[in-house]
Structure 1
Amino acid sequence: MTTNTPYRPLAMRGPSVRVQSRPDGSLLLESGYSYEDVERSIVHVLARQARAIPDRVFLAQRAPDGAWREQTYADVHRHARAFAQGLLSRALPEGRSVMILSGSSIEFAAVMLGAMMARVPVAPISVPFSLWSADHGKLRHAFAVCRPAIVYTDDADRFAKALQSLDLSDVEVVTATGTPTAPRHSRLSSWLDTAPTSAVDDAIEHIHHDTVAKWMFTSGSTAQPRCVAQTQGMMCHQLASWAALEMPASDRPAPVILDWMPWSHVGGGNIGFNHNLLRGATVYLDEGRPMPGLFEKTIANIKSVSPTEFSSVPVAFRMLVDALRTDAELCQAFFRRLETMAYGGAALPTPVANELQALAVKTVGHRIPFTTIYGATETQCITQVHWTTDETGLVGLPLPGVQLKLVPTDDRHALRVKGPTVTPGHDAEPTGRHGFDEEGFYELGDAVRFLDPARPEAGLVFAGRLAEDFKLNTGTRVAASALRQQVLTTAAPLLSDCVICGLGEEAVGVMAWLNPNAITALLGPAPADVPPHARQDVLNRLREALEGHNRAFPGSSHAIRRLLLVAEPPSFDTHELTDKGSINQRVVRENRAGLVRELFAPEPGARVLVLA
Structure 2
Amino acid sequence: MMQQSGGAKFWTPTFQTERRDDGTIIMQQEGALSDVARSLPDRLVHWASERPDTVYLAERDENGDWRKLTYAQVLSTVRAIGAALLSHGLGPDRPVLILSENSIDHALLGLASQYVGVPYSPISTAYSLVSTDHAKLKDIVALLKPGLIYASDGAAYGRALDAVGGAGHAVAVSRNPRAGDVLFTDMMNAAPSDDAEAAFAGLTPQSVGKYLFTSGSTGKPKAVINTQEMMMANQAMIADCFRFLADHPPVVVEWAPWNHTAGGNKVFNMVLNNGGTFYIDEGRPTPKGMAASIRNLKEVAPTWYFNVPVAYEMLVSAFEADDALRQSFFSRLDMMMYAGAGMAQHTWDALLRLSRETIGREVLLTTGLGATETGPFTLMCTEQQAQAGNIGVPAKGVTLKLVPNGGKLEARIKSPSIKQGYYGDPDLTAASRDEEGFYRLGDALRPADPDDLSKGFFFDGRTAENFKLATGTWVAVGALRAAMVNHFGGLIRDVVIVGENRDYLGAIVLLNADTGQGSADTLQERLNSFAAGATGSSNRVRRMVVMQSPPDLDKGEMTDKGSINQRAVIANRPELVEAIYAGEAGVFEAR
TM superposition score normalised by structure 2: 0.91
Residue 15 of structure 1 contacts residue 458 of structure 1 at CA under 8 Å; is this kept in 2? no
**Residue 52 of structure 1 pairs with residue 50 of structure 2:** yes
Residue 447 of structure 2 contacts residue 457 of structure 2 at CA under 8 Å; is this kept in 1? yes
Q: Match for 2:362 among 354, 364, 367? A: 367
Structure 1 residue 453, shift from structure 2 partner: 0.4
Cα distance change, pair 248–94 in 1 and its aligned pair in 2 (3 A): closer
**Residue 393 of structure 1 pairs with residue 389 of structure 2:** yes
3-state SS of the aligned residue for 1:483? helix
In structure 2, distance between residues paired with 1:223 and 1:325:
41
Cα distance change, pair 319–33 in 1 and its aligned pair in 2 (3 A): farther
In structure 2, distance between residues paired with 1:304 and 1:597:
53
Residues 335-344 or 488-497, more deviating: 488-497
- Equivalent positions of 1:309-388 (< 5 A) are 309-380=304-375, 381-388=377-384
**Residue 446 of structure 1 pairs with residue 443 of structure 2:** yes
Corresponding position of 1:259 = 254
Structure 1 residue 548, shift from structure 2 partner: 4.7
Corresponding position of 1:420 = 416
Q: Match for 1:128 among 126, 129, 150? A: 126
Q: Match for 1:533 among 495, 506, 519? A: 519
Render the CA deviation track for 1:131-185: whole Å, top value 9, x for unaligned. Answer: 111111110111111111111111111111111111431211111111234xx53
Specify the code of the residue in structure 1 equivalent to 2:518.
P
**Residue 194 of structure 1 pairs with residue 190 of structure 2:** yes
- Equivalent positions of 1:190-589 (< 5 A) are 190-247=186-243, 252-380=247-375, 381-428=377-424, 433-434=429-430, 435-492=432-489, 496-512=493-509, 532-534=518-520, 540=525, 542=526, 545-550=529-534, 553=535, 555-564=536-545, 576-589=557-570
Give the root-mean-square deviation of aligned CA atoms: 2.8
Corresponding position of 2:116 = 118
Specify the code of the residue in structure 2 equivalent to 1:357.
L
Structure 1 residue 292, shift from structure 2 partner: 4.3
Residue 561 of structure 1 contacts residue 610 of structure 1 at CA under 8 Å; is this kept in 2? yes
3-state SS of the aligned residue for 1:467? coil
Residue 334 of structure 2 contacts residue 364 of structure 2 at CA under 8 Å; is this kept in 1? yes
In structure 1, distance between residues paired with 2:555 and 2:316:
28
In structure 1, distance between residues paired with 2:92 and 2:510:
50
3-state SS of the aligned residue for 1:257? strand
Residue 478 of structure 1 contacts residue 557 of structure 1 at CA under 8 Å; is this kept in 2? yes
In structure 1, distance between residues paired with 2:322 and 2:585:
42
Specify the code of the residue in structure 2 equivalent to 1:207.
L
3-state SS of the aligned residue for 2:147? strand
In structure 2, distance between residues paired with 1:432 and 1:602:
41
Corresponding position of 1:610 = 590
In structure 1, distance between residues paired with 2:278 and 2:465:
35
Aligned length: 586
TM superposition score normalised by structure 1: 0.88
Render the CA deviation track for 1:537-560: whole Å, top value 9, x for unaligned. Answer: x754x257424522xx1x211123
Residue 215 of structure 1 contacts residue 428 of structure 1 at CA under 8 Å; is this kept in 2? no
Residue 313 of structure 1 contacts residue 580 of structure 1 at CA under 8 Å; is this kept in 2? no
3-state SS of the aligned residue for 1:392? coil
Render the CA deviation track for 1:436-464: whole Å, top value 9, x for unaligned. Answer: 11221111111112111011100111110
Residue 91 of structure 2 contacts residue 118 of structure 2 at CA under 8 Å; is this kept in 1? no
Q: Which runs of 5+ in 2 are unaligned?
A: none
Corresponding position of 1:524 = none
3-state SS of the aligned residue for 1:446? strand
Residue 303 of structure 2 contacts residue 335 of structure 2 at CA under 8 Å; is this kept in 1? yes
In structure 2, distance between residues paired with 1:596 and 1:45:
53
Structure 1 residue 504, shift from structure 2 partner: 4.0
Specify the code of the residue in structure 1 equivalent to 2:466.
D
Residue 470 of structure 1 contacts residue 478 of structure 1 at CA under 8 Å; is this kept in 2? yes
Corresponding position of 1:138 = 136
Structure 1 residue 244, shift from structure 2 partner: 2.0
In structure 2, distance between residues paired with 1:598 and 1:295:
38
Residue 366 of structure 2 contacts residue 388 of structure 2 at CA under 8 Å; is this kept in 1? no
Specify the code of the residue in structure 2 equivalent to 1:459.
G
Residues 594-603 or 105-114, more deviating: 594-603
Residue 10 of structure 1 contacts residue 388 of structure 1 at CA under 8 Å; is this kept in 2? no
Structure 1 residue 33, shift from structure 2 partner: 4.8
Corresponding position of 1:21 = 19
Residue 174 of structure 1 contacts residue 188 of structure 1 at CA under 8 Å; is this kept in 2? yes
Cα distance change, pair 428–76 in 1 and its aligned pair in 2 (3 A): farther
Residue 141 of structure 1 contacts residue 224 of structure 1 at CA under 8 Å; is this kept in 2? no
Render the CA deviation track for 1:304-335: whole Å, top value 9, x for unaligned. Answer: 32322220222322333344444444433333
**Residue 65 of structure 1 pairs with residue 60 of structure 2:** no
Residue 490 of structure 1 contacts residue 549 of structure 1 at CA under 8 Å; is this kept in 2? no
3-state SS of the aligned residue for 1:532? coil
Corresponding position of 2:161 = 163
Residue 484 of structure 1 contacts residue 499 of structure 1 at CA under 8 Å; is this kept in 2? yes
Corresponding position of 2:72 = 74
3-state SS of the aligned residue for 2:241? coil
In structure 2, distance between residues paired with 1:502 and 1:430:
34
Specify the code of the residue in structure 2 equivalent to 1:332.
Q
Render the CA deviation track for 1:369-418: whole Å, top value 9, x for unaligned. Answer: 11223211111121111332224212211111121211111331111111
Structure 1 residue 572, shift from structure 2 partner: 6.2
Corresponding position of 1:525 = none
In structure 2, distance between residues paired with 1:291 and 1:567:
21
Residues 279-288 or 45-54, more deviating: 279-288
